[in-house]
Amino acid sequence: MELNRAVIIVMDSMGCGAMPDAFFYGDEGSDTLGNISVNVGGLKAPNLKNMGLGNIHKIKGVEPVDSPAAYYSRVSEKSNGKDTTTGHWEIAGIITEKAFPTYPDGFPAEIMKEFEKQTGRETIGNYPASGTQIITDLGEEHVKTGKLIVYTSADSVFQIAAHEEVIPIDELYRYCEIARAILVGDHPVSRVIARPFLGTAGNFYRTENRKDFALAPTGKTMLNLMSEAGLTVTGVGKIEDIFCHQGLTDSFHTTNNKDGMECIEKLLKEDKRRGLIFANLVDFDMLYGHRRDPRGYADAIEAFDNFMPRIISAMEENDALILTADHGCDPTFKGSDHTREYVPLIWYMKSTEGGALGNLSSFADISATILDLFNIPSSLAGVSFKEKIKIKEYDNACFKR
């Protein structure tokens, strides 16, 4: 069996239960999918249920099914960390042995001094904070003085918040590029993130012009191997930022989950070239996980489930749809940060059976299997589960909207 197209959709932060080492991160008891489902009185996700999501993990309203339409697994993270970059790199075949540095007491004086020198602007903040809370607390001062709001979180991030009418978007992005060049060597921060906002004091709100400036991958990934083999590699959403455009042949910036899903559907319908579509749907994490909004998160899951038949309909026989996540971000848990969790894996093809893959030991098993099915030699991390995928004609009429 060879693939025509593989479509990976990373449901950003949709973890499914704390990993055994979660206590090292202070994340014992976290369970993004499980706790959300209980908090809202049950999820309504019939298409994900039919694919076997409830067979992976206990989710209220999404019960196990006897004959799932897809292969399913609970997947462990082998890398050290629980951030976006680490998770996506592992999906693409790179294990991060040493976690990216974090800054619970803010960034060192020498970093901030150099950043202010190169940007020509003073800064305020420089402590871990919720992105919405810090613009509430410091937004008015920023507007009055033009000082940049710098903050971090429990993750390895250097975030710069600025009002779009005070600091134009292109200027904010330039400041992020300056920070990105500074944060290497002894301070290899995973991502620098532009966090633009609008509004007035008491009513500031973040816009959809966020942009991530990540470290370049430490080696070749699945994306490189596929593009070097002459296949298309299309990024959707912030994939281009996470991989610094490396290995991508095409890229589409999207503003939210709906935009991302519509982009995937359009690509499936109109771009018949062999290769990979790699998408990130960020709203789960950015709008609902970090903001501790279980009802909003549940609504986003249900909207995604409702859209699923459109993606299924656009697929062809030898296309594979891979649904997974990069970490957890339990909105019912303490704090406002990512959580160290297992992630779900759903592998669907119209021409294959469904069933249990067993628990997988690394996100990298996903890329190992995709490369195996494209007959691309690889020395990247991960173990292929190709031999577990069995061909069988399948009627997808059971996917309902």
Q: What tens digit of pLDDT does each residue of 300-310 get? A: 999 999 999 99
Q: What is the pLDDT of residue 401?
A: 47
Do 48 and 346 form a contact (C-beta atoms < 8 A)?
yes
Q: pLDDT > 90: what percent of the chain?
A: 95
pLDDT of residue 397 exceeding 50, the answer is no
Across the range 173-199, mean pLDDT stands at 97
Q: State the chain's maximal CA–CA distance in angstroms.
A: 65
The predicted structure's pLDDT at residue 399: 52
Q: 109-119 and 169-182 are packed helices; what angle lies between their axes, rounded to 10 degrees? A: 140
Q: C-alpha distances in angstroms, 396 versus 71, 317, 388?
A: 14, 11, 21
How high is the pLDDT of residue 1?
77
| Residues whose CB is less than 8 angstroms from the CB of residue 135 and which lie 6 or more positions away in sequence, other chains included | 142, 149, 161, 195, 197, 204, 206
Q: What pLDDT does 165 receive? A: 98
CATH of range 5-97+216-398; options 3.30.70.360, 1.10.10.60, 3.40.640.10, 3.40.720.10? 3.40.720.10
The arrangement of secondary structure in 109-214, i.e. its CATH architecture, is 2-Layer Sandwich (3.30)
325-353 mean pLDDT: 95
Q: Given this model, what pLDDT does residue 154 score? A: 83
Q: For 91-113, how does the pLDDT look when each residue is reduced to its tens digit (9 = 90+)? A: 999 999 999 999 999 999 999 99
pLDDT in the model for residue 275: 98
Tell me the average pLDDT of the chain: 95
> Cα separation of 144 and 73, whole Å?
52
Residue pair 162/196 in contact by the 8 Å Cβ criterion: yes
| Amino acid 155: pLDDT | 86
CA 102: distance to chain centroid? Answer: 19
The angle, 0 to 180 degrees and rounded to 10, between the axes of the packed helices 294-314 and 257-270 is: 10
In this prediction, residue 95 carries a pLDDT of 98
Query: Whose CA is closest to 183, among 285, 85, 289?
Result: 85
Measure the CA–CA gap between 313 and 4, rounded to whole angstroms: 16
Share of the chain above pLDDT 70, in %: 98
Q: Where in the chain is the domain with CATH 3.40.720.10?
A: 5-97+216-398
Residues of the chain with CATH 3.30.70.1250: 109-214
Angle at 196 between CA 190 and CA 202, to 5 degrees: 125
Q: Are 330 and 30 in contact (CB under 8 A)?
A: yes
